[in-house]
Chains A and B, each alone.
Chain A
Amino acid sequence: MARAVTNNLKIINTIVAWGIGFLIFFPILWTILTSFKTEGMAIADPPVFLFFDWTMENYTEVQERSNYLRFLWNSIFIAGGSTILGILVAVPAAWSMAFVPSKRTKDILLWMLSTKMLPAVGVLYPIYLLFIQFGLLDSILGLTLVLMLINLPIIVWMLYTYFKEIPVAILEAARIDGASLKSEILYVLMPMAIPGIASTLLLNFILAWNEAFWTLNLTAAKAAPLTAFIASYSSPEGLFFAKLSAASTLAIAPVIVLGWFSQKQLVRGLTFGAVK
C-alpha cells in the first residue's frame, strides 16, 4: 500500500517536473526547430511544430551572408584566450593563498571579489579612452584583456576553493616518504588540482563567451564576437525568423552543451564557495 502511494507520487512528480522543464526549455527548442524551417513556415499561423519540410538552407545562407566563421573564431579566441590567461595568472595566486595563508589572505580574497562588483558602465568611458590611446579598440587583444580582468576574481576564487580542499597531510606524507619538491608538485599536487582547474576553465569560458557589455561596446567590425554578430540582427532588415534562429542556434549550441557539464561548478563559481 505504502509502496503504491509513493509510486503514484513519483509518477505525478515526474509528469509535473517534465512539463515545467519542457516549458522552460521551450524557447530554445523552438528556436532550434525554427532554424530548420523555411521563412514562410517560420511565421505560419497556426505554428507548425515538427511536421514541416526540414531544410538546411538557413544555415548555408547565414554563413554566406555574414561570414559567420570569423565571428565564431573571434569568440573562440577571446573566450579561450581570456580564460587561459586568467588561469595562468590565477593559479599561482590561488595556490599561495590556499597553501601559505597569511592574516591578510581573507582580506585580499574579499577585495578581489569587490572588484567584480564594479559596475561596468561606471568605467565605460575611461576604458574606451584608454583603448583608443593604446590602439586596442576593436582588437581581439584588448577584449581578451578586459574579459580576463573581469573574470579574474571568479577564477581566483574557484581555484582557491578547490585548492583548499587538497589535504596538506598528503603533502607532508609525500615529503616524509622522500619526495622531492618537483615530484611532490608533479605526482601529488597536480593530479589533485587538475579537476579543479578544468572546471574553472569550463565555467569561465562560458562566462566569457556570453559576455555582452564590453563585447558590444568595444568592438566594431574586426574583432566582433558572436554576441555582436547576433546583435546586428536586431536591425529591421534582419527580421527573418528562420535565419535569425539559425544564427542563434549556431551561437548558443556549443556553450549550452558545455554548460550541461558545468552545473556543479556553476554553483560553486558564482556563489564564491558560499553554497556548495
Chain B
Amino acid sequence: MATQNSRSIARLMMAPAVIMLLGWMLVPLTMTLWFSFRKYLPLRGGDMGWVGFDNYVSFVSSSSFWPSVQTTLIIVGSVLVITVFLGILLAILLDQPMWGQGIVRILVISPFFVMPTVSALVWKNIFMDPVNGLLAHLWKFFGAVPIQWLSQESVKSIIMIVSWQWLPFATLILLTAVQSLDREQIEASEMDGAKPLQRFGYIVLPHLARAITIVVLIQTIFLLSIFAEIFVTTGGAFGTKTLSYLIFSRVLESQNIGLGSAGGIYAVILANIVAIFLMRIVGKNLGT
C-alpha cells in the first residue's frame, strides 16, 4: 500500500530517534569495553596501558565478588517471590465485588510513585530507626527488643523496602490480567462443580502465566540495578553490596575504571540474558 515516497518519508521520521538511541548505546558501551581492557586509575597514574583480560579475571576473583552475587540473587529472588505471590493474592482480592474498589486501588498503587530516595530514607529513619523508629516502638510495645534493622538484618530490610515499592507494580499488572479473564468460563466451571481452588489452579493461574512471566522479567531488569535504596540506607555496608553497587563503588569510590568497566560488561551481559527472554514474549505479542 505504501508508496516508495511515503517509505522514505517514514524512514526520515524515524531517523532522529534511531540515531540518538544508537549513539546512546554504542558510544558509552564502546568506551566501557575499551576501558575494561586497560589498567586505568585516574587518580593514581592514569591510563597505564593494555592489560588484556586481567580486569575480567580480577573482578571475578576479588573477595567481594561472590558475596555481591549472592546478595544480588537473594534480594532479586526474594523480592520477586514476595511481590508475585502477594501480587496474585491482591489482584484476585481486588477483582472481587466490594465497596470503594477505586479507592483501594489508589491506596495499593501509591508506593510505586514514591521516589526511591524518599522511600529509602523514610523507611530507614521513621520506620527502621532502632531507637525512635515506629517499628522499634511496636517491638517495645510487645515487650521485644527492637531490631537494628539496617545493620543486623540489613539484607532483609532492603528486601522489605524494595518489595513495598514493587508490590504495586506486580499487583496492577496482574489485576489487569485477572480482569481480562473470561467470566463465562468461570461460571461454566462453577456449574460443572469445580471448587474454588480447582478454578484457581486450572483456569486463573494458567491465564495469568503470561502476565506473571512479564512481571518477573521486567522486575528482574529493574531490580538488578536498584541503586538509591542501597546508596541511601547502608551505602553498601553490612553485606548489602549488590553486583551493580559493587561496580558503582569500583568506578566512583575506588576510581578503578578498568576493573569497574570489566564489571560493567558482566552486568551488561547478565541483563541481556534476561532481556532476550522478555523481548521474545513482547515480540510475539507484536504480531506483524
Contacts and interface: CB of A to CB of B under 8 A. Distances in A.
Interface residues of B, number: 105
B204 interface: no
A198 interface: no
A112 B221 CA distance: 15
A208 to B, nearest CB: 11
B16 A271 contact: no
A158 interface: no
A69 interface: no
B224 A276 contact: no
Contacts of A6: 97
Contacts of B180: 276
Nearest to B224: A119
Interface in A125-170: 125-127, 129-130, 149, 152-153, 156
Contact of B264 (A31, A97, A114, A124): A124
Contact of A14 (B100, B122, B225): B100
A106 interface: yes
A121 B126 contact: no
Contact of A113 (B24, B101, B172, B282): B282
A254 B247 CA distance: 33
A248 interface: yes
B41 interface: no
A256 B108 contact: no
A273 B285 CA distance: 8
B113 A21 contact: no
Given A110-B282, A124-B248, A270-B169, A100 B111 contact: no
A195 interface: no
Contacts of B123: 27
A217 B251 CA distance: 12
Nearest to A156: B17
Interface of B: 2, 6-7, 9-11, 13-14, 16-18, 20-21, 24-25, 27-29, 31-32, 35, 90, 93-94, 96-101, 103-119, 121-127, 132, 134, 137, 140-141, 164, 167-169, 172-173, 176-177, 180, 210-211, 214, 218, 221, 224-225, 227-228, 231-232, 244-245, 247-248, 251-252, 257, 260-261, 264-265, 267-268, 270-272, 274-275, 278-279, 281-283, 285-286, 288
- Shortest 4 CB-CB distances between A and B: which pairs? A259-B113, A122-B264, A21-B107, A96-B10
Interface of A: 6, 9-10, 13-14, 16-18, 20-22, 24-25, 27-28, 30-31, 34, 42-43, 45-47, 89-90, 92-93, 95-97, 99-102, 105-106, 108-110, 112-115, 117-127, 129-130, 149, 152-153, 156, 206, 209-210, 212-213, 216-217, 226-228, 230-231, 233-234, 239, 241, 244-245, 248, 251-252, 255-256, 258-260, 263, 266-267, 270-276
